[in-house]
Chain A
Amino acid sequence: DQQVKQNSPSLSVQEGRISILNCDYTNSMFDYFLWYKKYPAEGPTFLISISSIKDKNEDGRFTVFLNKSAKHLSLHIVPSQPGDSAVYFCAASEDNYGQNFVFGPGTRLSVLP
């Protein structure tokens, strides 16, 4: 049973527009959430995180929103750039320790020029 779900396997967006990647989770004990970005033939790289005491965290073009009551988070990228084309993984944990994270299956984002 998947505790972290990313229901859109892929998403295509025009350059300059907003990309919205969604993530849903089932474990109400999850308290810390991260987004990773992965290019082909590379390992995932950390992008942005949010703890449950916040509902929004922003870093440049990237913003993560958390709705705890809906057990839903989303990553907004604006404006989208072709270099953002990658697979994005959502991950969640009951705490922020290194090995206790559950990853979603990923969403492949394609930003079209």
Chain B
Amino acid sequence: NAGVMQNPRHLVRRRGQEARLRCSPMKGHSHVYWYRQLPEEGLKFMVYLQKENIIDESGMPKERFSAEFPKEGPSILRIQQVVRGDSAAYFCASSLTMAHQETQYFGPGTRLLVL
């Protein structure tokens, strides 16, 4: 029973490039959440998506960041024109329903390094 998968696990980008982070939820899960963990900090909620819909993007920076969860395929977190401050670990979680926090299962994360 495959868990939440994220790829790539590590991503290096130069300033100004685009970063695309992918998240495949657990089988049957239609709710996806993205979190960011900056160095020495806890995870911070970014965006919550349900198939083809953004439910809550209150934690997403207003510029350069976007997320989607198409009908087919993984959820994508896209960061345009990356800056050094975007260097962080990005975690995706999925759940079967929009339910309790305990039912979210996290992926292993993508570590983004912006040079």
Interface residues of A (CB under 8 A from B): 4, 6, 9, 32, 34, 41-46, 49, 89, 91, 93, 96-106
Partner of A103 from the list B33, B42, B95 (CB cut-off 8 Å) is B42
CA separation between A44 and B108, bound complex, in Å?
A: 8
Interface residues of B (CB under 8 A from A): 4, 9, 31, 33, 40-45, 48, 55-56, 59, 91, 93, 95, 98-109
A-B contact count (CB 8 A): 68
Beta-carbon contact of B42 and A96 below 8 Å: no
Beta-carbon contact of A105 and B42 below 8 Å: yes
Known A34-B102, A103-B42, A105-B42: A43·B48 in contact at CB below 8 Å: no
A44: which B residues are within 8 A, CB to CB? 43, 91, 106
Partner of B48 from the list A45, A46, A93, A99 (CB cut-off 8 Å) is A99
**B24–chain A nearest beta-carbon distance, Å:** 13
Partner of B42 from the list A42, A46, A104 (CB cut-off 8 Å) is A104
CA separation between A43 and B55, bound complex, in Å?
A: 23
A102: which B residues are within 8 A, CB to CB? 42
CA separation between A105 and B93, bound complex, in Å?
A: 18
Beta-carbon contact of A98 and B33 below 8 Å: yes
**B27–chain A nearest beta-carbon distance, Å:** 17
CA separation between A105 and B48, bound complex, in Å?
A: 21
Beta-carbon contact of B56 and A45 below 8 Å: no
Beta-carbon contact of A98 and B100 below 8 Å: yes
Beta-carbon contact of B101 and A89 below 8 Å: no
Beta-carbon contact of A98 and B43 below 8 Å: no
